Amino acid sequence: MIRLAVLVSGRGSNLEAILKEAAAGGLNAQPVLVLSDNPQAPALRLARAYRVPVLGVSPREVGGREPFFRLVEEKLVEARVDLVALAGFMRILPAWLVERFRWRILNIHPSLLPAFPGLDAPRQALEYGVRVSGCTVHFVDEGVDTGPIVLQAAVPVLPDDTPETLAARIRQEEHRIYPEAIRLFAEGRLVIDGRRVIIREAE
């Protein structure tokens, strides 16, 4: 069983999918910490309901971005975390933290990367006029949404879509592939080979 931390900023629907699957015993991972940069995040209420230890603290209360991420590091180390899952965590990690947890941080992004990195990906996809979009689980490196890709899922873009309806359709797939990617990591089946992630067969 690996020890999992989830970093969130908002609603927490991916967090919920992860906690549900972990509680059902399907992840091979024990959620040991949910951490948010927003003490008011609904995701924290959800984590408490699942009896997972939480910490909600805004960078402002601790003196800015750098002290905030030092605190994050301290808490992750203290909780002896094996894997960090960013689930709607809307901040870019400092390079030193990425290095400290090299290939032990996953992120979910609501587009088929490398298309539409950064903020408002469903809106970017609609404005570009693509027919298909989706979501990507990837390892975090020093870039913005640039790390090696673990899993992707595609969804159609429909004529009447708004950014909200497209994002909701994409989220359904996120809730399926994020727990799956965490399970593959927990089972030791992900091997990084340059930009590619090889998924080993189950033993």
Active site residues: 109
- Contact track, ligand GAR, 111-150, x by CB under 6 A: ----------x-----------------------------
136 vs 197, beta carbon nearer ligand GAR: 136
Q: Which of residues 11-50 bind ligand GAR (CB under 6 A)?
A: 11-14
121-128 and 163-186 are packed helices; what angle lies between their axes, rounded to 10 degrees?
120
Query: Do β-strands 105-109 and 29-36 pair in parallel, antiparallel, or remain unpaired?
Result: unpaired
Q: For residue 81, what are the contacts with CB-CB under 8 A and spacing of at least 6?
A: 3, 4, 5, 32, 33, 104
> Least separation, in Å, of the C-beta of 53 and ligand GAR?
19
Taking alpha carbons only, the member of 18, 7, 123 closest to residue 72 is 7
Nearer to ligand GAR, 119 or 202 (CB): 119
Give the binding-site size for ligand GAR (rule: CB under 6 A). 13
Site for ligand GAR in 91-110 (CB under 6 A): 108-110
Three-state secondary structure call for residue 136: strand
Task: Report whether 17 contacts 183 (CB < 8 A).
Answer: no
In angstroms, what is the minimal distance from the CB of 48 to ligand GAR? 16
When asked if residue 88 is in the footprint of ligand GAR (CB under 6 A), the reply is yes
Which tokens go with 71? Answer: 């605190």
Q: Which stretch binds ligand GAR (CB under 6 A): 7-15, 27-35, 51-59, 64-72?
A: 7-15
